[in-house]
Amino acid sequence: MSTEPLRCAGALIVDHDGRIFFQRRSPHRRLFPNCWDIVGGHLEPGEEVEEALGREVTEETGWILSQVLGQVGTYDYVGDDGQARIEYDFLVRVDGDLAHPKLEAGKHTEYRWLAEHELSVLDEHRDVNDGLIRRIAEEGFAVLRSIGL
């Protein structure tokens, strides 16, 4: 196994009401089962972060990445599979029917658009992800405020 961390890209998708999109991971997933998560995943060999961002948005929602609004942060963590990861997360806008995402079958079970005051839902199964998703969401809303959206 490589000692290099896996590189990941994450998209905090923003709608026109200033809410952010979250989807629940299937209970059968190895990493963060049954937890709320942002859209994203591992970079493929030779892939740049923004390429992965666009690919993951389309694979997980059916939408098309239209605009990167800003970087939310870079996060280092070790998953419950023991693998180190470095994740680059961005606030983005997408094109498509925001009321009808096409969730990846078998990987995600439901979705929600959350306003900042609704983030407590992300604490479900907090022990599994140590509150990482909530921290990313809070930082995403801070970036959203800082750019005036």
Longest Cα–Cα distance of the chain, Å, equals 44
What does each C-alpha distance from 72 to 9, 40, 84, 105, 130 come to in angstroms? 11, 13, 20, 28, 18
Task: Classify the phi-psi angles of 20: left when phi > 0, otherwise alpha if psi is within -120 to 50, otherwise beta.
Answer: beta
pTM: 0.93
pLDDT digits (tens, 9 = 90+) for 114-148: 999 999 999 887 665 578 899 999 999 999 999 98
31: which 2 tokens? 């990493």
User: 6-146, what's its fold?
Assistant: Nucleoside Triphosphate Pyrophosphohydrolase (3.90.79)
Place of tokens 């693998």: 83
For the ranges 39-43, 91-95, 100-104, 122-126, which has the lowest average pLDDT?
122-126
In tens, the pLDDT along 17-56 reads 999 999 999 999 888 889 999 999 999 999 999 999 999 9
- How do residues 67-87 score in pLDDT, each as one tens digit? 999 999 999 988 878 889 999
